[in-house]
Amino acid sequence: MNFLEPALTARIPCFPHGDTKSRHVVSYDEYVKTGGYKALAKVLEMEPAQVVALVKDAVLRGRGGAGFPAGLKWSFLPPVDGKGSRYLCINCDEAEPGTFKDRLLVDFDPHLVLEGIAIACYACQLDVAYFFIRGEYHHQARVMQRAIEEAYAAGIFGKGGMMKGKVKFAAECHLHRGAGAYICGEETGLLEAIEGKRGWPRVKPPFPAVKGLFGRPTIVNNVETLAAVVPIIDRGVSWWKSVGVESAFGGMPSWGPKLMGVSGHVNRPGVFEAPLGITLRSLVDDYCGGMRGGKRFKGAIAGGVSMGVLGTEQFDARMDFDVGRACDVLGLGTACPTIFDEDTDMVAVARNCARFFMNESCGQCTPCREGSGWVYKLLTRIEQRDATTGDLDLLVEVAGSMGLSEGTTICGLADGTNWAVRTIVSKFRGEFEARVKPRFVPVHVSAR
């Protein structure tokens, strides 16, 4: 279950708040001594298509938020045509509120990520990798840049061929720092940013696998997704499938371990590695030492604020990719829950979420640009007790009519406003109704 063994010595690695000082960045030499890059050596003895098939068989679902199977995404690439470079873009933007798991991998085990990058480049025959990192991650950018330089010196990347010419397949790897826009976490917005443009999501199709970075075939993967490729290769698909759970609804399973960053009203906030399918209650009680101050659980952001909110009666929700269908949220997202205790003002939570999405909208789509502003204004009015029941009804109507799932926007940012607001209002409606006044209905007076 513990796929971070090269970097972390604990049986179940966890980084509770304030405990990171005792850790250090694992260098290339340390990584190799603990078995690092053995998976890459194994892969280089296989055909690229075999590697893609293995990852596809593992049903490695993307750890960045959407949960789309990585191997299936890899299989969408067209054959090599020799007409130009093919690209891998690594999404380390991690701007989703409440999410801080990818940062841990960069902070302490960057070579695990780089090994996954090298494997993906070989499997998909990609020539250049761009590690896109959030602009505010200043320290992490320096750590990753040093690790990339170590990987070049060791022959993992560079023109000489992977692993110092063991296989004559060469790939380049570059660090690209973002400018601090949340929208660049959307994969086509990320591509635009790497190209030096404003981070605006693209209309799809064409999809990145066909026409991505610089108009060439491109794969975009999350940091944790690529890190998970290494143990799948090293330990095998059977081991991977021994952790996690089958779908509760007959869909794709949720296999493998998952990094879960827990914040909010718990005794030990931090990043924990747990099997997919663990209940939120177990995550809070067994990993985080319970609710802070012994207070009662009230609700939680499931896995990034854009996924929506779990209600008071959903403390036993299963943290797997089916949580959306089971609990009326958009999905598992990044699996980094923010926990709320009984004293939390959920109206203020909704207003704060709306403020974030209003400020981060790129402005391309009218429902997102205008709708997020109206949602924020209505929530502010409700919080200040200056609204009517009509305003509350209008709030739900506006929020529910915007987003990619409604077919009104290019990307899913508007869905963040939609799901965050709608789930909070529906699951804590009493708090909203207590803040609004009855709607005044004018009496019609007929003329005499």
Structure confidence at residue 316 (pLDDT): 96
The predicted model gives 407-411 an average pLDDT of: 88
Looking at the predicted structure, is the pLDDT value of residue 16 above 50?
no
Structure confidence at residue 278 (pLDDT): 95
Task: Decide which of 115 and 18 is more confident.
Answer: 115
CA 117, 413, 381, 348 dihedral sign is negative
pLDDT tens-digit profile of 389-406?
999 999 999 998 888 877
Structure confidence at residue 232 (pLDDT): 96
Structure confidence at residue 446 (pLDDT): 56
Looking at the predicted structure, is the pLDDT value of residue 147 above 60?
yes
Label residue 407 by pLDDT band (50, 70, 90): confident
Written as six digits, the tokens of 334 are: 């990044």
Percentage of the chain surpassing pLDDT 70? 92
* Torsion of Cα atoms, 25 then 30 then 31 then 32, to 10°: 160
Q: Which of 378, 358, 379, 380 lies closest to 369 in space, CA to CA?
A: 358
HEC secondary structure over 218-255: EEEEEHHHHHHHHHHHHHCHHHHHCCEECCCCCCCCEE
Adjacent-strand bridge partners of 336: none
Percentage of the chain surpassing pLDDT 90? 76
Q: Rounded to an integer, what distance in angstroms lies between the CA atom of residue 271 and that of residue 221?
A: 20
Looking at every residue in the chain, the average pLDDT score rounds to: 90
Structure confidence at residue 66 (pLDDT): 84
Q: Rounded to an integer, what distance in angstroms lies between the CA atom of residue 173 and that of residue 190?
A: 16
pLDDT tens-digit profile of 116-140?
999 999 999 999 999 999 989 999 9
Q: Which of 321, 308, 397, 300 lies closest to 357 in space, CA to CA?
A: 308
pLDDT tens-digit profile of 93-120?
999 888 999 999 999 999 999 999 999 9
pLDDT tens-digit profile of 63-99?
988 889 999 999 999 999 989 999 999 999 999 888 9
CA distances from 66 to 57, 125, 322, 406 (A): 19, 24, 12, 17
- Amino acid present at 398: V
Structure confidence at residue 3 (pLDDT): 42
Domains of the chain: 14-242 (3.40.50.11540), 245-341 (3.10.20.600), 346-437 (1.20.1440.230)
Q: Rounded to an integer, what distance in angstroms lies between the CA atom of residue 264 and that of residue 291?
A: 9
